[in-house]
Amino acid sequence: ILLSPDWSPDGSSVALNTYIGDRPRLEIFNLHTGSRMTFADFQGLNSTPAFSPDGRYIAATLSHRGEPGIYIYDLETKNWRAFTHSDSNSSIDTSPTWSPDGKWIAFTAQYDGNFNVYVMSSSGGQPRQLTWWPDIGAIPERMGPNNQVIAWTPDSKSIVFLSRHDTFNTWFGRLWKVSVDGGLPERLPAGDYRIDARLDKQAATNAALGWALPAVFARYQSAHSLDQQAAEPRLLALGDPGDRA
């Protein structure tokens, strides 16, 4: 199973969360050469990769040192560094997303028992909480956290996130946005979406701009790119069915 694809800024590669074998891994698929490279294969969680706007770094969620936190991978040096830090052994940080101007990383974290939206300078520092909503009920982990960061608006001023805050069913979420400077979140003019995998980022951005194009939620056995001329999917990667957990 291949999940959470994120395109490199130059469109040459895709970073993916792969489930082949006994645990999740993070891999990069080069679309020009067809090669693939594993860049995270730690014991525990390896998920939600996100390229920096300049293409040099990838932020991701790892749990190789305890509870899930956000780490940044340098594609030039091949080294990881911790990005989020917490004194709590029960904290969870996930879904890192870079602002288009590269100055910020927004993410979802559970520092006080509830999942909320946070933001930090991409150079490091202290997280700043932007939403303050309590979680609503318990649901399976595969459905994703509440108040899950999805994307930024193109001007880097607001963060788009998916929340169960006021949905009729906790298996569904609604798109909201909140200013990077804080303040009350604003519900976007889009419908209810089932939380089953990561929201297509372009659809979320379109909704934030008011275009409200349908969001795409799906669980894929393979990852595809869309040929814009022929409007047909092109297979990028497919795991060996015998290797799937």
pLDDT at 60: 96
Q: Helices in 62-154 by DSSP H: which ranges?
A: none
Rg (CA), the chain: 17
| pLDDT tens for the chain, residues 1 to 245 | 788 899 999 999 999 988 877 778 999 999 999 999 999 998 888 999 999 999 999 999 998 776 789 999 999 999 999 999 655 556 789 999 999 999 999 999 998 889 999 999 999 999 999 999 988 766 666 677 889 999 999 999 999 999 988 877 777 788 999 999 999 999 998 765 554 434 445 454 444 443 333 333 222 223 333 333 334 445 554 444 344 33
Q: What is the pLDDT at residue 208?
A: 44
Question: How far apart are the C-alpha atoms of 46 and 103, rounded to whole Å?
Answer: 24
pLDDT at 221: 28
> CA–CA distance from 240 to each of 11, 30, 34, 197, 233 (Å)?
25, 18, 16, 21, 20
Whole-angstrom Cα distance, residue 16 to residue 200?
13
Tell me, what amino acid is at 81? R
Alpha helices, DSSP H only, in 70-132? Answer: none
What does the pLDDT read at residue 194? Answer: 52
Which pLDDT value is given to residue 240? 43
How many CA atoms lie less than 13 Å away from 195 in the CB half-sphere?
25
